[in-house]
């Protein structure tokens, strides 16, 4: 692993999406897809984020325009191309570092900027919104365009990515100060230079020959930080530095280097117009009448420009405060509930006649399980106040799923303690998850709607794009079949998991060939494994792929219902997969009644109890040793069934992390849940269950045991 690992390699483009997909550095079979277009932001309730407001104050007419923009990498399109290519690829979306958005009008004075360029940080790169004041004629023209199904704005977004520069067998030795002087003579001191022109000038100055496009690009990506800085505009312009120290700098183009590369996205006007025309024009134009008298009463509009619906958000408020002045001795305060992230709400405050707004604004959020949180105060000097993600009380991690994924699966975001924070599905394909210090989001469990097992994705960055082709398990896998020669020749059949129609392939293992490598392609991340059998016997359970998968095809030894296999690294030792969950002991579950509420306490374990493990060891013979295979317990829960047949978790947590993987659970039960627990502890099956979710050999496993049956035989 190096600092270049997983970055898109600009010198190795992929044909699955020309110009927008590259091989990931140091990752065979992994591709990185760059965004290709900018669109209007789709809203969860349908339509797109575009609103023109006509504001009448007596005879005067004005207005404003609000527009939201979204960027998505074309993972689905690239995944379809990759699936049909000769070499299957695992694809992921590139992570931009920063961006600059410019929005211009297509009405009034076409091409005029609606607002200054908006500089975007990592939290705002997926979606962002712009609000601008409009004079009367422009507001009316914009409303007419929207009612006619025409997009009234245009936009350009420059995204900056970290990538690996192309390599060439060349080397150049330069003096940055001399280079800067040459560039200043050519373009003017401190000039803003387009990247192509800067690359040509650097190439000619460094090599003293006419510029060559490939050489110029490879050199400029490495050298431009030494002589320029990027301009905060959407065009890829670079401002020459005022001065740099003299030095001798050797640039080896044959050595891979991490560089910043810009990608400019234009608004797809055709797609935006189709989305706008498909909705209700009345949702995108609003008319507001304000009183004409100069009473000092001022209407303030507040908007929370958050990247997606926020998980667990019970209430979102915007607080406004304006300090007292000589003409107004009282402080002015107001709190406005924002009905939805990205929604707009207005409030009316009373200032002194003719006074301009000079105050502060903040976001206040009430989160499930966390309580009320307060964001930082921000300056408020306009009647249109847009609060960006950095005003939210805690950082937000954005999880987005493509249509290809939501057609196959749903995703649940969980904390390190196993608490489910939110769900991403076809109805809600995007979710912003608060990152709290006490229990931050840790994993995303992607559950298939059809056959297969869940896939876990770590929450290790602030923006996560979910797509079937980007999930672990998709793509090409390798395994090694191994056989003990003393057992005689053996014929092994194998095929990919889930592909029952595929013709099984056959491998013969004997003394001359005790092992063989097999390779298969998993087209579903939820069924990535391989199944095998010896002769015409039963097919094995699916074996999940991992970095170095070895399958011992010799039949296991079964003792007391436990399958054991020899440990190849420890002679005389055997391994088994822990078969729990069990109750930790006969008295590991109790229910204490306290009027209408009952208190449940339960301790579970995943490994065999000591007595049964000793019995299995004795069954192998003198001197034998057994130990459990390493598993990871991701969730343990107690579930009760309601009278209408729905199972609901009443307590959940994780394990101790080491054998025997114990978990202590407790819950307060009332109503139907209390009755279900009483029935289960009274010996009636089908009302309360113990659920364990594990990762065994890299594959998720879910096991459910009825608690009534465990009480009768707690160690079985």
Average of pLDDT values for 374-392?
Answer: 89
The dihedral through the CA atoms of 312, 371, 41, 47 has a sign that is positive
Residue whose entry in the numeric block shows the structure tokens 């087209």:
523
Q: E strand or H helix at 176, and its extent?
A: helix 176-187
- Model confidence pLDDT, tens digit, residues 659-688: 899 999 999 999 899 999 999 998 899 999
Check whether 157 has a pLDDT greater than 90: yes
Check whether 59 has a pLDDT greater than 70: no
The dihedral through the CA atoms of 657, 661, 666, 669 has a sign that is positive
Cα–Cα distance measured from residue 257 to residue 223, given in angstroms and rounded to the nearest whole number:
11
- Given a contact cutoff of 8 angstroms between Cβ atoms, the answer to whether 30 and 16 are in contact is no
| pLDDT recorded at residue 713 | 65
Q: Answer whether the bond into residue 137 is a cis peptide, omega within 30°.
A: no
Average of pLDDT values for 45-51?
Answer: 82
For 620: left if phi > 0, alpha if psi spans -120 to 50, otherwise beta; the answer is alpha
Q: Where are the beta strands (DSSP E) in 354-395?
A: 359-367, 371-374, 378-380, 384-387
Average of pLDDT values for 151-158?
Answer: 93
In 3D space, the residue among 627, 517, 653, 498 whose CA is nearest the CA of residue 573 turns out to be: 627
Average of pLDDT values for 37-43?
Answer: 86
b/e sequence 80-96, b meaning 16+ C-beta within 10 Å: ebbbeeeebbbbbbbbb
| pLDDT recorded at residue 57 | 66
Average of pLDDT values for 181-202?
Answer: 93
| pLDDT recorded at residue 446 | 93
Q: Which residues contact 716 (CB under 8 A, 6 or more apart)?
A: 582, 710
Crossing angle for the helix pair 176-187 and 195-207, nearest 10 degrees?
A: 130
Check whether 517 has a pLDDT greater than 50: yes
Tokens representing 178?
A: 């001399």
- Model confidence pLDDT, tens digit, residues 554-566: 777 888 888 887 7
Determine which of 52-66, 250-264, 348-362 has the lowest per-residue pLDDT on average: 52-66
Cα–Cα distance measured from residue 413 to residue 433, given in angstroms and rounded to the nearest whole number:
8
| pLDDT recorded at residue 75 | 73
- Model confidence pLDDT, tens digit, residues 576-594: 889 889 998 878 899 998 8
- Given a contact cutoff of 8 angstroms between Cβ atoms, the answer to whether 249 and 226 are in contact is yes
In 3D space, the residue among 232, 49, 285, 269 whose CA is nearest the CA of residue 155 turns out to be: 269
- Model confidence pLDDT, tens digit, residues 92-105: 788 888 899 999 99
Check whether 310 has a pLDDT greater than 60: yes
Q: Is pLDDT larger for residue 705 or for residue 470?
A: 705
Average of pLDDT values for 45-55?
Answer: 83
pTM of the model as a whole: 0.58
């Amino acid at each position: 692993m190096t600092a270049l690992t997983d970055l898109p390699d600009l010198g190795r483009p992929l044909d699955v999406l020309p110009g927008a997909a590259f091989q990931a550095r140091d990752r065979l079979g992994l591709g990185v897809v760059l965004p290709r277009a900018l669109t209007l932001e789709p809203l969860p309730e349908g339509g797109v984020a575009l609103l023109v407001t006509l504001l009448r104050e007596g005879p005067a007419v004005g207005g404003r325009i609000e527009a939201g923009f979204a960027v998505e990498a074309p993972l689905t399109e690239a995944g379809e191309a990759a699936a049909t290519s000769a070499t299957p690829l695992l694809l992921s979306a590139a992570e931009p570092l920063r961006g600059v958005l410019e929005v211009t009008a297509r009405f009034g004075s076409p091409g005029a900027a609606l607002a200054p360029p908006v500089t975007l940080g990592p939290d705002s790169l997926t979606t962002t919104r712009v609000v601008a004041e409009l004079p009367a004629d422009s507001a009316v023209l914009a409303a007419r365009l929207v009612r006619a199904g025409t997009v009234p704005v245009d936009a350009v977004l420059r995204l900056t990515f970290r990538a690996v520069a192309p390599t060439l067998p060349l080397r150049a030795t330069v003096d940055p100060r001399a280079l800067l002087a040459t560039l200043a003579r050519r373009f003017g001191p401190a000039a803003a230079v387009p990247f192509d022109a800067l690359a040509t000038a650097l190439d000619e100055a460094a090599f003293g020959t006419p510029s060559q496009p490939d050489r110029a690009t490879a050199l400029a990506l490495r050298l431009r930080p030494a002589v320029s800085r990027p301009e905060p505009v959407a065009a890829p312009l670079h401002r020459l530095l005022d001065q740099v120290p003299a030095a001798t700098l050797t640039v080896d183009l044959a050595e891979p280097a991490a560089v910043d590369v810009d990608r400019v996205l234009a608004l797809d006007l055709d797609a935006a117009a189709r989305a706008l025309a498909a909705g209700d024009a009345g949702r995108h134009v609003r008319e507001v009448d304000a009183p004409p008298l100069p009473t000092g009463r001022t209407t303030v509009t507040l908007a929370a420009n958050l990247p997606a619906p926020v998980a667990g958000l019970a209430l979102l408020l915007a607080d406004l405060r304006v300090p007292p002045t000589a003409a107004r001795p009282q402080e002015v305060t107001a709190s406005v509930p924002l009905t939805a992230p990205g929604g707009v709400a207005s409030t009316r405050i009373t200032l002194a006649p003719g006074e301009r707004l000079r105050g502060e604004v903040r976001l206040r959020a009430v989160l499930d399980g966390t309580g009320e949180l307060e964001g930082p105060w921000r300056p408020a000097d306009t009647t249109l106040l847009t609060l960006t993600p950095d005003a939210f009380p805690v950082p937000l991690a954005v999880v987005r799923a493509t249509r290809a994924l939501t057609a196959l699966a749903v995703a649940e975001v969980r904390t390190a303690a196993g608490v489910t924070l939110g769900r991403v599905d076809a109805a809600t394909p995007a979710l912003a998850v608060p990152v709290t210090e006490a229990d931050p989001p840790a994993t995303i469990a992607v559950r298939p709607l059809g056959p297969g097992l869940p896939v876990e994705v770590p929450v290790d960055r602030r923006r996560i794009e979910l797509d079937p082709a980007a999930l672990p398990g998709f793509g090409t896998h390798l395994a090694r079949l191994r056989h003990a020669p003393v057992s005689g020749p053996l014929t092994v059949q194998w095929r990919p998991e889930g592909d029952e129609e595929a013709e099984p392939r056959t491998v013969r293992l004997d003394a001359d060939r005790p092992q063989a490598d097999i390779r298969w392609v998993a087209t579903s991340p939820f069924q990535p494994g391989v199944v095998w059998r010896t002769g015409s016997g039963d097919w094995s359970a699916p074996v999940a792929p991992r970095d170095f998968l070895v399958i011992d095809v010799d039949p296991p030894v079964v003792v007391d219902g436990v399958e054991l296999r020899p440990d190849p690294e420890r002679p005389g030792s055997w391994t088994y997969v822990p078969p729990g969950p069990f109750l930790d002991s006969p008295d590991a579950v109790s229910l204490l009644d306290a009027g209408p509420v009952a208190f449940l306490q339960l301790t579970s374990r995943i490994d065999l109890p000591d007595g049964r493990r000793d019995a299995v060891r004795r069954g192998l013979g003198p001197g034998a040793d057994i130990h459990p295979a390493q598993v990871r317990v991701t969730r343990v829960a107690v579930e009760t069934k309601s009278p209408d047949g729905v199972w609901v978790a009443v307590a959940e947590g994780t394990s101790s992390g080491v054998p025997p993987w114990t978990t202590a659970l407790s819950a307060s039960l009332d109503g139907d849940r209390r009755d279900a627990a009483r029935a289960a502890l009274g010996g009636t099956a089908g009302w309360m269950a113990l659920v364990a979710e594990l990762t065994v050999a890299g594959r998720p496993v879910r096991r459910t045991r009825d608690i009534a049956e465990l009480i009768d035989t707690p160690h079985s």
